[in-house]
A and B are shown apart, each in its own frame.
Chain A
């Protein structure tokens, strides 16, 4: 029993030390450098670290040098075995409103070690609510759990008896 207790304390200490001492800002910068290789750039006004993650305020998102959107809040949270990214108050740049014919409010992405090959996605906007996953085998699948105004999106969607869904390979 003493042995089990000691192992538990060691594991808990390692987990806590990794999270608490993690240089979150620098890791986020490393993520930015990785995204830049894929032509995605994020310019943020403010980064604030907290115990289990960091919060980003006023992030302008660029693709290939062109501003696509502004996200007022991006929040990263990690417990190592479970990670969550919340992007809220997304405002598509005026120039691209004709290309992105819908309003996007929030996107939540969660990743769990229990399903290591996929990240779960939830988003809502004037198209309704979608929930689905990004498979690391390069597939996106999104189910419309609550259908809003999808008129402009319909040609990209497929329908089954369970409702509308979007699927794409990238």
Chain B
């Protein structure tokens, strides 16, 4: 049987028409319907840097403070220094201002005063190019002295018992570093001790404590059932992403500030990891 050119054209005619038709449909879809670019992930940083970890720039430490004006201005007295941590690179202080405890790292500002430097028993703030020395509050109050983190970190960590997982120091609590590291590396164990329930609020999420196991380190932290966790170390906890980010960054923290909503009131829980 001889196959003529006409036969080939006849045979290919229908497939070619189909090919052309489908190609046109795809081109139209490509042009008018389908996106021309994919999603490129961009890091959105909405959080305040973690205390003690991020905002501490090495070079800043080398800047020697200008001669200190010891004379206190009236409003610098509103700031009481209750704890200080200072090493070659970092300065972090805990102050009381207007009856509230705040944790500041180098560069943070309170009442217009910027924390610029510190030593073992005083901190230096700056306002309008003038510097102010604030001495550490001595042990007549419940805040007895410096949080000398460098020294305590270097000490070998003794075997902990359940009783010294968390030590209550009045306005803040001290968490045993060993316990903290354990939970920072074992998320499963967190969920054995505390239940976190997700509540959708518009586009955002809230994380509510559904239970706290009695006698657990979490109970000792003062976290209670019904608390809504708003932020940890300045990182707003309003999505799983934020929670995961905080969890993955928390390992190296030396201080924790947890803001919770309890009985419709905002509550700030302060912890030192030691």
A: residues with CB less than 8 A from B are 6, 9-10, 12-14, 16-18, 21-23, 26-30, 32-33, 35-36, 39, 41-44, 60, 62-66, 95-96, 98-99, 101, 152, 155
Q: Are B44 and A65 in contact (CB under 8 A)?
A: yes
Asked if B248 and A95 make an inter-chain contact with CB atoms under 8 angstroms apart, the answer reads: yes
Please name the residue on chain B nearest to A93 by beta carbon: B248
The 7 A-B residue pairs with the shortest CB-CB distance in the complex, in nearest-first order? A64-B241, A95-B248, A26-B34, A17-B22, A13-B15, A65-B241, A13-B18
Closest residue of A by beta carbon distance from B35: A29
Contact A33 B241 (CB under 8 A): no
Q: Give the Cβ gap from B97 to chain A, nearest Cβ, in Å.
A: 33
When chains A and B are docked, how far (Å) is the Cα of A43 from the Cα of B242?
A: 19
Given A64-B239, A98-B186, A17-B19 contact (CB < 8 Å): yes
A65–B22 CB distance below 8 A: no
Cβ of A29: which chain B residues have Cβ within 8 Å of it? Answer: 34-39
> If the complex has contacts A10-B14, A13-B14, A44-B38, are A98 and B185 also in contact, measured as CB distance less than 8 A?
yes
A36: shortest Cβ distance to chain B, in Å? 5
If A9-B14, A18-B22, A29-B35 are given as contacts, then 5 extra A-B residue pairs at C-beta distance below 8 Å, sorted by A number, are A17-B21, A17-B22, A29-B37, A66-B245, A98-B186
> Which chain B residues border A95 with CB–CB below 8 Å?
244, 248
Q: Name the CB-closest residue of A to B40.
A: A43
CB pair B38–A17 under 8 Å, yes or no, is: no
Interface centre among A29, A44, A66 (most CB of B within 10 A): A66
Point out residues on B near A: beta carbons under 8 Å: 11, 14-15, 18-19, 21-23, 26, 29-30, 34-41, 43-44, 184-188, 239-242, 244-245, 247-248
Q: Give the shortest distance, in Å, between A99 (CB) and chain B (any CB).
A: 5
A66 touches B244 (CB 8 A): yes
Bound together, the chains give a CA A36 to CA B15 distance in angstroms of: 38
Taking CB atoms, residues of chain A closer than 8 Å to B239 are 39, 64-65
8 Å CB contact of A41 from B30, B41, B245: B41
Verify A30–B240 contact, CB threshold 8 A: no
In angstroms, Cα B100 to Cα A2, docked, is 90
Q: Is the pair B38, A9 in contact by a Cβ cutoff of 8 Å? A: no
B39 with A33: CB separation less than 8 A: yes
Q: How far is the CB of A157 from chain B (nearest CB, A)?
A: 13
Interface pair B40/A21, CB less than 8 Å apart: no
Contact A65 B187 (CB under 8 A): no
**CB within 8 A of B34: which of A21, A23, A42, A65?**
A23
**Complex interface: chain B residues within 8 A of A33 (CB):** 35, 38-39
* Cβ 8 A contact of B244, one of A9, A42, A96: A96
Is B43 in contact with A65, judged by CB distance below 8 angstroms?
yes
Residues of B within 8 A of A99 (CB): 187, 247
Q: In the complex, how many angstroms separate the beta carbon of B15 from the nearest chain A beta carbon?
A: 4
Question: Is the CB–CB distance between B22 and A39 below 8 Å?
Answer: no
Q: Which of A16, A27, A30, A65 has the most CB of B within 10 A?
A: A65
